[in-house]
Amino acid sequence: MISERVRTNLEQTFSQSLLPKIGLGILLLLVLMAVFAPVLATHDPTRTGHYDENGAQYPPLGTDYTASVAQDGERVDITVESTSEHILGTNNVGQDVYSRFLYGARISLLVGFLGTGIALLIGVPIGLVAGYYGGRVDDGLMRVADTMLAFPALVLALALLGVFGQSPVYVPDPIVRLGLASGMPESIPIPGTVTIVVALVTWVWFARVARGEALSVRNEEYVKAAKSFGTSDRTILRQHVLPNSLTPIIVLATIQVAAVILLEASLAYLGFSGTTLSWGYEIERGQDILPSRPWVSIFPGIGIVLAVISVNLLGDWLRDALDPNIEGEGR
């Protein structure tokens, strides 16, 4: 439960700074776009073949570009005009970029929050147990964490994906099933393996932070008093150590959401996401045509940047509010 002091700090820092308001606004906008993607999308994001009469892909609304097409056995240059039917244009296989941007937000945000949540559930108990008991328990658990930290996150994720493979989980889309959006995919392809892998890669950070807090809290007088009354270790961990260790864990969780979004985008860019409805996958699709048709990669790239910036702005706000001692250090 949030104390009155913490609630006051949160309200004051939020009202006094513009940055958390911007971060919250951007994140809420992206979340709403992701949730209501079937309603907001103008086309089925998986449907191909949206070309003009010459077989060229459309540019974003208000722009045009020169394309080389085959006419009567020869290559000729034509000017391709935009259309209001595809406000952000189409990609190289004729899919609507705007619709894929909306659906890509679903995958990136879902993996970011779900992967971080799983990592938190794995890392925090391990870290608390290691810090509370110390000794051999601490040494054994932390050596496992140190071993995983020795590998770059992307390299370790690729290795784990090579072991487990790519297994997307298809979840029925409630908006489509309720008949609120027609002509859209009936299921959401969640990259299940990627979600688990990013959690396995990032849990060590939560374990290290939780261990450090547990090492400090276990020597507090209220913990010693609880032990003297015969309170079990499980109860002490749950009622005393965990609540007094939450501040840095919450701050770390917000930072890790942004890191997981970037990691998922990197894996999707390399072709390991398990779904094609991903911002990272869309960036990879447009890299070969970047000089002539940059919008294919630019818009999903903007989505990733906005998501990461918004989460980091909220993370800075929580850090300043929950731990004023580090405010202004620029970290």
pLDDT of residue 328: 42
- More reliable by pLDDT, 206 or 168: 206
pLDDT interval class at 324 (50, 70, 90): low
Q: pLDDT at residue 331 above 60? A: no
pLDDT value of position 106: 92
Which of these, 29, 44, 82, 72, lies nearest to 307 by C-alpha position? Answer: 29
Calculate what percentage of the chain has a pLDDT beyond 70.
95
Tell me the Cα Rg of the chain.
24
Residue 315 CA neighbour count, 13 Å, CB half: 20
Q: How many residues does the chain have?
A: 331
Question: Distances in Å between the alpha carbon of 180 and those of 42, 109, 174, 185, 186?
Answer: 13, 22, 9, 12, 11
Separation in Å, CA 123 to CA 159, 203, 229, 239, 247: 20, 5, 29, 18, 15
**DSSP for residue 58:** P
Q: What is the dihedral of CA 14, 19, 21, 22, to 10 degrees?
A: -170
- Looking at the predicted structure, is the pLDDT value of residue 9 above 80? no
* Between residues 329 and 25, the one the model is more confident about: 25
How far is the C-alpha of 312 from the C-alpha of 143, rounded, in Å?
A: 30
